[in-house]
Amino acid sequence: MATTTDHAISALTGHPKIYEGSRIPHPTPTILQVPDDLRGDDDILEINFGPNHPSTHGVLRLVVSLDGEDVVGLKAVIGYLHTGFEKTMEQKTWWKAITYPTRMDYLSFQQNEICFVMAIEKLLEVEPPPKAQWMRTLLSELARIHSHLVWLGTAGLELGAISIFWYAFRERDLILDLFEMVTGVRMHTRYVQTGGLAEDIPPGFAAECRKFIDVMPKRIDEYETLLSNNIIFLERTKGIGHLSAEDAVALGQSGPMIRASGVDWDIRKAEPYLVYDQVDFDVPVYQEGDVYARYKVHMDEMRESVRIVHQCLEAMPEGPWILDDRRFVLPPRSELHTSMESLIHHFKLVTEGYRVPEGEVYQVFESSRGELGCYLVSDGGPRPWRVRFRAPSFVALEATATCLSNSLIADMIAIAASLDPVMGDVDR
């Protein structure tokens, strides 16, 4: 077996596609090694950056080797927020496991929830009714704006732009109010059910949501006047943290990361799911691959999301919000008071759960920070055999060593923030 591996790696040296002209460190792609001529130098200072540092968006630890102000070595250490969600979900019924994905990426919770439920529906081979599809699209776009606003506020804060934080969180609160109106809670909503939605959309939601999307484009203009023409912000974001298109693909990047590096790739366009093939939107792509390009992608995506939410409200169909398939959908509440069979059925679904056919699926979803993948294995029983989430932040952090090579310590904060890591998503 050893010979086969040796052969494969030697074959790679004949195909230096990835490493020629690439800034990805070698041999470990995620560790920036201190160069040989500097190693052992007394002036090299090794600093632990985190895990409890306000600028790391959670509990990210960066072990940085400094030569004066230059970053010459770097290693990202994660796992401080590992909670074993995947293991826990194996112990829960499919029905109860839906609460867990929302806790992973706690800024775009709706999207994780929808992705997991879509994977279950793929195994069950069912499709939710149109109203549920449109509402899921609407919610996942609101979640995208929500997540980008938190990113914008905190990333700005780290560069000393305090006002943007207050403005961004003001609008974030409006979105949380909308979530509260629909689902009853502001975060970790668990509104999506297998086969549709848990409840009908409340009356008056469309009007409230319209108020928000009417005001939002003006607010995004406000942010842009605060930052896009701010000389300090431009100086601190332009031309740093560079990631080329080839390196981004080799490092498996997705979402705003890859679009800021000049790769026109968006799962919503390329492999449409929900109703993304019926709405009109553009995919912002920037060629520079620096922190400023990532900022611009985030801003443009918020505008596009507002457009999608607007179209969803216009097109929202009438009708049922969940399938009438009693294999996995709870009986309507009204039946429980009159029908013994419905009561028994309700009880069985809640206690024992429903069975999902045997098989394995990989469901992808364009979340706020890239490709969210859900790999499910079912043995035909009422509980998942294996749940795995391909977390976009986890993959984004693999690019730290590449983005931070040849940078200054002062730029490190801006670059780490531009990767948009959510540590709950990274560590799961």
Partner 1 sequence: MSWEHVPGYFSEMEAFGETTVRIDRPRIADAALHMRDAEGFNMLSDVSAADYLGWGEVGVAGYWGAPNGRDANAPGSWGLAKSPEPKPTRFAVSYHLLAIPEARRIRLQVWCEDGESVPTVVPVWPTADWHEREAFDLMGIVFEGHPNLVRILMDEDWEGHPLRKDYPIGGEPVRFSEAE
> Counting contacts by CB under 8 A, is residue 398 touching partner 1?
yes
Q: Which of 383, 412, 415, 422 binds partner 1 (CB under 8 A)?
A: 383
Cβ-in-10-Å burial (0-12, 13-18, 19+) of 341 comes to exposed
Residue 263 in contact with partner 1, rule: CB under 8 A: yes
Contact call for residue 326 and partner 1 (CB under 8 A): no
- Residue 57: closest CA among 173, 143, 142, 158: 158
Structure tokens at 403: 């983005």
Query: If binding is defined by CB under 8 A, does position 172 make contact with partner 1?
Result: no
**Contacts of residue 217, Cβ cutoff 8 Å, sequence gap at least 6:** 303, 306
- Binding map of partner 1 across residues 99-128, x = CB under 8 A, - = no contact: -----------------------xx-x---
The partner residues of 54 in beta bridges, in order of sequence, read none
Q: Contacting partner 1 (CB under 8 A), which of 379, 405, 408, 409?
A: 379
Is the N-terminal amide bond of 217 cis, ω within 30° of 0?
no
Residue 160's closest CA among 230, 104, 212?
230
Q: Between 153 and 382, whose beta carbon lies closer to partner 1?
A: 382
Which of 228, 339, 375, 409 binds partner 1 (CB under 8 A)? It is: 375
Select from 98-106, 200-208, 280-288, 350-358 the region that touches partner 1 (CB under 8 A): 350-358
Which of 353, 403, 421, 425 lies at the binding interface for partner 1 (CB under 8 A)? 353
CA nearest 189: which of 225, 148, 146?
Answer: 146
Pair of tokens at residue 264: 């026109």
Contact with partner 1 (CB under 8 A) among 38, 126, 187, 249: 249
Residue 52 interacts with partner 1 (CB under 8 A): yes or no: no
Which span (7-15, 191-199, 277-285, 338-346) binds partner 1, by CB under 8 A?
7-15
Burial class (CB in 10 A: 0-12, 13-18, 19+), 247: buried
Question: Which has the closest alpha carbon to 371: 287, 242, 263?
Answer: 263
Handedness of CA 56, 63, 77, 26 (dihedral sign): positive
Q: Does 18 bind partner 1 (CB under 8 A)?
A: yes
Q: Given its phi and psi angles, is residue 290 left (phi above 0), alpha (psi -120 to 50 degrees) or beta?
A: beta
Give least dist CB 42 to partner 1, A.
26
What letter represents residue 84's amino acid? G
Residue 86 in the binding site for partner 1 (CB under 8 A): yes
Residues binding partner 1: number (CB under 8 A): 66
- Residue 96 makes contact with partner 1 by CB under 8 A: no
Provide, rounded to whole angstroms, the least separation between the CB of residue 63 and partner 1: 13
Per-residue binding letters, 269-288, with partner 1 (x by CB under 8 A): -xx-----------------
Q: Please check whether residue 97 is in contact with residue 381, taking contact to mean a CB–CB distance below 8 angstroms.
A: no
**64/33 Cα distance (integer angstroms):** 10
- CA–CA separation, 305 and 314 (whole Å): 14
For residue 220, give the nearest of 308, 303, 310 by alpha carbon: 303
Minimum distance of partner 1 from residue 245's CB (angstroms): 10
Assess 202 for contact with partner 1 (CB under 8 A): no
Draw the binding track, 121-160, toward partner 1 (x: CB under 8 A; -: no contact): -xx-x-----------------------------------
Residues whose CB falls within 8 Å of the CB of residue 68, separated by 6 or more in sequence, listed in order: 43
Give me the residues that bind partner 1 (CB under 8 A), please.
1-2, 4-5, 7-9, 11-12, 15, 17-18, 24, 27-31, 78-79, 82, 84, 86-87, 91, 93, 122-123, 125, 249-252, 263-265, 270-271, 352-353, 355, 358-362, 364, 371, 373, 375, 377, 379-383, 385-386, 388, 390, 394-395, 397-398, 427-428
